[in-house]
Amino acid sequence: MGAPQSLRVVAPAPLLQVDGVSLEYRTRQRVVRATHQVSFDVHAADRFVLLGPSGCGKSTLLKAVAGFVAPSEGEIRLEGRRVAAPGPDRVVVFQEFDQLPPWKTVRQNIMFPLRQARGMSRAQASECALHYLDKVGLAGFADAYPHTLSGGMKQRVAIARALAMRPKVLLMDEPFAALDALTRRRMQEELLALWEDAAFTLLFVTHSIEEALVVGNRILLLSPHPGRVRAELNSHQFDLASQGGAEFQATAQRIHRLLFETGTAGGAEGTTASARTAQAR
């Protein structure tokens, strides 16, 4: 009897692929390049963070994944299909608190896209809205109006609304940047708890190194303008309790060097993430 044939393990295909994407916008005087040939893959249940200084194009890149901005070069694919327009399979939570229509109650804000995009009945949408409001601790505020809520509570509603849509990728554009430090930490805790419960796929933009290490399990570092890939790091070993620890601080300092010191490893720009992967340690 012959030796058993070795089994070939096929890795699952990425859920989201950003392939050589350059993004540009036009001013009165000239065309400005926001990102240059950025590539990365996001797998199902990843918490993938785009990290870089202000002006590196990370928010523009998020908008391109959402379908709001068309690449001038390269392609974005979701489940192998080119992203050409916005869709309910990608839902964005923005930084601004006032992203909820003020004339609708909290419950109605969540119900509206469920009815319009998912075709739910009023009863189904109401039940779903209450389910996700309960997950973010706001079931008792279902019939309140947005102007009666704090900034952190408004962001919880926006997150509940996004999760209720059950998108293939949840896109978050610096959603906690305008919050005070204590509320920001609480929102990070709640986001991670929600992920532990539902294991959704997250693409998260921030310019905070500490937030990137806490929220993400993978981090893509983008150079100052125009944004190019500096490196990709794993950060799954860190959480909120890691802050202040020696390994956490050493990794934060290493990321700072990769982002801003062009003479260090990772300073050669325009390299794809897959060729520059480094383990955070």
**CA 240 – CA 134 distance, rounded (Å):** 23
Tens-of-pLDDT digits for all 281 residues of the chain?
A: 555 666 666 778 899 999 999 999 888 888 889 999 999 999 999 999 999 998 899 999 999 999 999 999 999 999 999 999 999 999 999 888 778 999 999 999 999 999 999 899 999 999 999 999 999 999 999 999 999 999 999 999 999 999 999 999 999 999 998 889 999 999 999 999 999 999 999 999 999 999 999 999 999 999 988 899 999 999 999 988 898 899 999 999 999 999 887 644 444 333 433 334 444 44
HSE on the CB side for 219, CA within 13 Å? 33
| pTM, to two decimals | 0.87
